[in-house]
Structure 1
Amino acid sequence: MRRVIRFACAGDTLYGTLDAASGKTGLLIVSGGNEIRIGAHRGMALLAQSLAARGIPVLRFDRRGIGDSTGTNGGFLSSGPDIGCAAATFSAEAGIERLVAFGNCDAATALALFGATAGIDRLILANPWVIEQQDDLPPAAAIRARYAAKLKEPREWLRLARGGVDLRKLASGLAKVAQPQAEEPDSLAHRLSAALSASRLDTTILLAARDNTAIAFREGWDGPVAMCDTDSHSFAHQSDAAWLEEQIATAVMRA
């Protein structure tokens, strides 16, 4: 059964959607970016419906300033209280005994940073956001991956010879790749890794193989990952969605 619930958070009111089920391990879905709880292409709503049919209760919610929820949108780095309030409400409403949380993009990063203090038992992080840049180019790791793929294609060499390549864009990309990529101690990537190490939470990392955000994360991560052969950041293709559901269901059952 699906129902809308509301709960308090730091003086504001958050709205969530609870898909009830018989299981005692629940899944909390945290939305990425400024997406409302339904998710891109209704992906999170459909995922919740499918998992609930498998016996897994699921809660999705809008953080402060997003969708139906009141308050000011402070971005994912201010979402710790929202995640904590949603986790506590979910446990009380659904009577669950263990809590798994899933997030994509900056929601994954938020869970890495705040999940342990929210009382979450296991994390599922998809395409964690670690990009900090001042230009509109893709991250250096993604540029390198793209160029490496193109160098293997004879038709790309032919395009270059015929003048079909934007040389100014190519030069900008090469210049970015050539810049030193030293990781600062206070960088988002460093903070994410440090938070996961300190919390010692069981964590599953899911990556879209040809997504720029995932490529940037993968460059600085030496732990195990599960890779989906897709370029869709939100796992929007039908086969991607099926893969994502199986990965999440497996992680929940292990929790």
Structure 2
Amino acid sequence: MRRLIAFPCEEDQLLGSLDEADGTTGLLIVSGGNELRSGAHRGMAMLAATLAAEGTPVFRYDRRGVGDSGGANRGFRAARADLLAACGAFRREAPQVAALVAFGNCDAATLLAHHGRDAGIDRVLLANPWVVEPRDDLPPAPAIRAHYAARLRDPATWRRLLTGGVSIGKLIRGLRRISQNGPQNDPFTAGVLAAIAAWGTDARIILAEQDATAIAYADAARRAGIAPRTLTVRTASHSFARPADAAALAAAIRDLVTARE
């Protein structure tokens, strides 16, 4: 059964959804960006129902200023209190839960990396962690390099370049971005990578192979020399929206839930 749960967060009220089950390991799903707790195309709501039917209680919530929750939306950097409040509500409403694991995509993965331990979370599955702050409307340099490498292997790209089908201005901007220093010296990037590394074997990564955010993370992690257990899914879907992607994500979450310390 799915229940709606209202709970306080500082001066505001948040709303979450609990898919009930008898399992003693609970899953918290944290939405990234300004996404509602239902997820893209209701993907997280459907995932929660599936896992609960298999015995895993699942809690999802809208952070302040998003969806059904009150307050002002101040982004993921200001969402630590929301995360702690959601974990507290989950444990109150499902008192049989002895171990708590969490999944988050994009900046929700970054939030979990930084503050999951504070919330009493035991293990995390971090999807496409957000490690590079945007400086303009272009993707991160590693994603541009990967894109150009693939395009330059395609003869059609050269034909388009010769016939004016490729924007020279955009090409020059992309090449300039590639020539810039990597993100390894950026304090934000270094902080996220250090937070992920601090989880040790309790953190697992899942990446959408052709997603720009995932490519940027993989490049930054390689440069920093951190190598948490990582599953790469052959998809460009940031939210693992295709049926095969969703199945891979569900399998990774099941593995997280059933893992033993």
TM-score (norm 2): 0.94
Residue number in structure 2 paired with 1:4: 4
Query: Cα 1:120–1:75, aligned 2, differ >3 Å: closer, same or farther?
Result: same
Q: Which amino acid is 1:192 matched to?
A: V
Compute the displacement of 1:92 (Å).
1.9
Asked if 1:148 is matched to 2:153, the reply is no
Asked if 1:203 is matched to 2:203, the reply is yes
Give 3-state SS (helix, strand or coil) of 1:69's partner. coil
Compute the displacement of 1:185 (Å).
5.5
Q: Which runs of 5+ in 1 are unaligned?
A: none
Matches within 5 A, 1:23-172: 23-95=23-95, 96-172=97-173
Query: Cα 1:93–1:182, aligned 2, differ >3 Å: closer, same or farther?
Result: closer
Residue number in structure 1 paired with 2:233: 228
Contact 2:183 2:220 in 1 (8 A): no
Compute the displacement of 1:150 (Å).
1.2
Compute the displacement of 1:71 (Å).
1.1
Contact 2:131 2:193 in 1 (8 A): no
Residue correspondences, number: 254
Identity across matched positions, percent:
52
Contact 1:121 1:201 in 2 (8 A): no
Compute the displacement of 1:63 (Å).
0.8
Query: Cα 1:46–1:59, aligned 2, differ >3 Å: closer, same or farther?
Result: same
Compute the displacement of 1:197 (Å).
3.1
What is the CA deviation profile of residues 164-209 of structure 1, one whole-angstrom value per residue up to 9, with x for unaligned ones?
A: 211111111001101122533522x211122233344601100000
Q: Which runs of 5+ in 2 are unaligned?
A: none
TM-score (norm 1): 0.96
What is the CA deviation profile of residues 91-119 of structure 1, one whole-angstrom value per residue up to 9, with x for unaligned ones?
A: 12112000001000110000001101110
Asked if 1:251 is matched to 2:251, the reply is no
Query: Cα 1:212–1:12, aligned 2, differ >3 Å: closer, same or farther?
Result: same
What is the CA deviation profile of residues 63-100 of structure 1, one whole-angstrom value per residue up to 9, with x for unaligned ones?
A: 11111111111110111111111112111211200000
